Amino acid sequence: MKLKDVQIKKTIKKTILLNPGPSTTTKTVKASLIQDDICHREGSFAAITRKVAEDLVKIVHGKKNDYVATLFAGSGSICIDVAVGSLIPDGKKIMIVNNGFYNDRAMQAAQYYRIPVVNCAFDILTLPDLKVVEETLAKNKDDVAAVYMAHQETGTGLCNPIREVGAIAHKYGKIFISDTTSTLGIIPIDVYKDNIDFCMASSQKGINAFTGCSFLIGKVSEIEKLKNYKPRSYYCNLWRQYEYFKEHGEMNFTPPVQIIYSMQQALKEHFAEGEKAKYKRFMDISKIIRDEAAKMGLVELLDPAITTGLVIAIKYPEDKKFNFKKVHDYLFKEGITIYPGKIGNLPTFRLCNLGANTPADVKAAMKELKAALKACGCKVPFPKKCGCCK
Is 64 found in the same domain as 209? yes
**327 neighbors 338 (Cβ within 8 angstroms):** yes
SS3 93: strand
Say if 11 falls within a structural domain. Answer: no
For residue 65, give its domain range: 28-271
d(CA 139, CA 332): 50
> For residue 268, what pLDDT is reported?
98
Q: How many domains does the chain have?
A: 2
Bridge partners of 218? 68, 198
Using the 3D structure, point to which of 240, 271, 302 is the last residue of a domain.
271
Residues 183 and 295 in one domain: no
Q: What whole-number distance in Å separates Cα of residue 255 and Cα of residue 72? A: 7
Residue that is last in its domain, among 212, 240, 271: 271
Averages of pLDDT over runs of 10 residues in the chain (390 residues) are: 52 88 93 85 87 98 96 94 97 96 94 97 96 98 98 94 98 98 97 98 95 97 95 94 92 91 97 97 97 97 96 95 96 95 85 94 97 96 68
CATH number for the domain spanning 200: value is 3.40.640.10
Q: Are residues 262 and 246 both part of a single domain? A: yes
Same domain (yes/no): 141, 189: yes
88 and 144 inside one domain = yes
Are the C-beta atoms of 369 and 338 separated by less than 8 Å?
A: yes
Same domain, 166 and 213: yes
For residue 70, give the nearest of 175, 182, 224, 183 by alpha carbon: 224
Residue 329 lies in a domain: yes
266 and 336 inside one domain: no
What is the pLDDT at residue 144?
98
75 and 210 part of one domain: yes
- Are 144 and 124 within one domain? yes
CA–CA gap between residue 169 and residue 149 (Å, rounded): 11
Is there a domain that residue 294 lies in?
A: yes
Secondary structure (3-state) at 43: helix
Has residue 314 been placed in a domain? yes
Q: Read off φ and ψ for residue 96, nearest 5 degrees.
A: -110, 120
Determine the Cα–Cα distance for residues 360 and 374; give it in Å rounded to an integer: 22
pLDDT at 3: 41
User: What are the strands, taking DSSP E only, across the chain?
Assistant: 16-17, 67-73, 93-98, 117-121, 144-150, 152-153, 158-159, 175-179, 198-202, 213-219, 311-315, 336-337, 339-340, 348-352
Provide the whole-model pTM: 0.93
Domain contains 10: no
Strand partners, 126: none
> Is-contact 207 215, C-beta < 8 A?
no
**277 three-class SS:** helix
Residues 82 and 124 in one domain: yes
**Shared-domain flag, residues 36 and 168:** yes
Q: Is residue 68 part of a domain?
A: yes
* pLDDT value of residue 5: 55
Q: CA nearest 165: which of 122, 195, 135, 201?
A: 195
pLDDT at 13: 82
Is residue 325 one of the residues assigned to a domain? yes
Q: Of 213, 236, 271, which one is at a domain's C-terminal end?
A: 271
Give the pLDDT confidence score for residue 9 in this predicted structure. Answer: 59
- pLDDT score at 384: 79
Residue 153, exposed/middle/buried by CB under 10 A (0-12, 13-18, 19+)? buried
Torsion angle, alpha carbons of 208, 213, 219, 225, to 10: 170
23-35 as b/e, with b when 16 or more CB fall inside 10 Å? Answer: bbbeeebeebeee
- 209, 281: one domain: no
Does 227 fall in a domain? Answer: yes
CATH number at residue 324: 3.90.1150.10
For the chain, the helix, strand and coil percentages under 3-state DSSP, each to the nearest 5:
40, 15, 45
